[in-house]
Amino acid sequence: MLWNGLGGNRERVIFLFWGMKKKNFRMWLISYFMLVWLFQLTVAQEDNKIMIKKNNAITVSPLAVFNILNPSLQMGYQRNLTPNLLFQIDAGIILRHSVFGFLGCHLYNGSVNYSYSGYKFQVGLRRVLSKSYFIDGEMTYLKNKGNVNNTYVDSYGNSYDDFFIQERYRYGINSKFGMKYVVSHRLLLEWSVGLGISYHNVNHYDRENMNNKAYSSLYGYLLKHGNYFRLNLPINGKVGYIF
């Protein structure tokens, strides 16, 4: 009944909501879920407490250099806030190529021309479940600008290779479950996997024709331009030094 009573104002309501969504929805969503995680992590039962002997750790993420689309040299810092609550922050520089690219192993012949630059950043909290298990809640940000190419099909059905610049901004939130081991009270080993959601803002520059479709649906998906949401499947491993 309320919707029917709006009458001619329906279009205005839709316009206002859509404008809010484009301008504020991204940060609202990230902030909302981060607050939920903060609440859950801080009010959870303090079971299986682990005595803190050393409060800090410096970490590196070896798997990040194998990422094909966003290869990075990534380091992090961890700080125990309570026996069961840990703050962590990571930052990385986007590499020109992944390890596969530096070794000359490419996705396909044209990907030899790929090169990237940019940075990534993530911050989060960890709830320690036991001596070996934990759950993470994190917010992520990435900027990646690269020279890439893809094969497209024009309106006449002819395929061609297009070389262009892709600029990607990604805002994400993830929840992860992981395991950790401490060797000789100093060496930290971690593995984690999770699920999340990310908002992508991707622009293509110097494309021959933005309306043409990609020849491969896979690479059309990986190099898609525009604004959209996607699910994340974060998989990570860390090696660190505790002090």
Q: What is the mean pLDDT of the chain?
A: 82
Residue 237 in contact with residue 211, Cβ under 8 Å? Answer: no
Q: Which residue has the higher pLDDT, 141 or 13?
A: 141
Q: Give the C-alpha separation, 75 to 201, whole Å.
A: 25
In whole angstroms, give the CA distance from residue 21 to residue 226.
15
Q: Which one has a higher pLDDT value, 30 or 222?
A: 222
Predicted confidence at residue 51, as pLDDT, reads 38
Run of H or E residues at 77: strand 72-82
Q: Which residues are CB-contacts of 71 (< 8 A; sequence separation ≥ 6)?
A: 64, 65, 94, 95, 97, 98, 99, 101, 116
Across the strands, what pairs with 224?
A: none
Per-residue pLDDT at 85: 94
pLDDT the model gives residue 109: 47
Q: What is the pLDDT of residues 186-232, one digit of tens each?
A: 999 999 999 999 999 999 999 999 999 999 998 899 899 999 999 99
Q: What is the pTM of this model?
A: 0.76
Least confident residue range of 96-100, 119-123, 141-145, 237-241: 96-100
Q: Find the mean pLDDT for residues 17-30.
A: 54
pLDDT one-digit tens code per residue, 60-99: 999 998 888 889 999 999 999 998 999 999 999 999 887 7
Q: Is the pLDDT of residue 150 over 80?
A: yes
Q: Is residue 104 predicted with pLDDT exceeding 90? A: no
Predicted local distance difference test score (pLDDT) of residue 187 = 95
CATH architecture of the domain with residue range 2-242: Beta Barrel (2.40)
Query: Token pair of 215, please?
Result: 């020849």
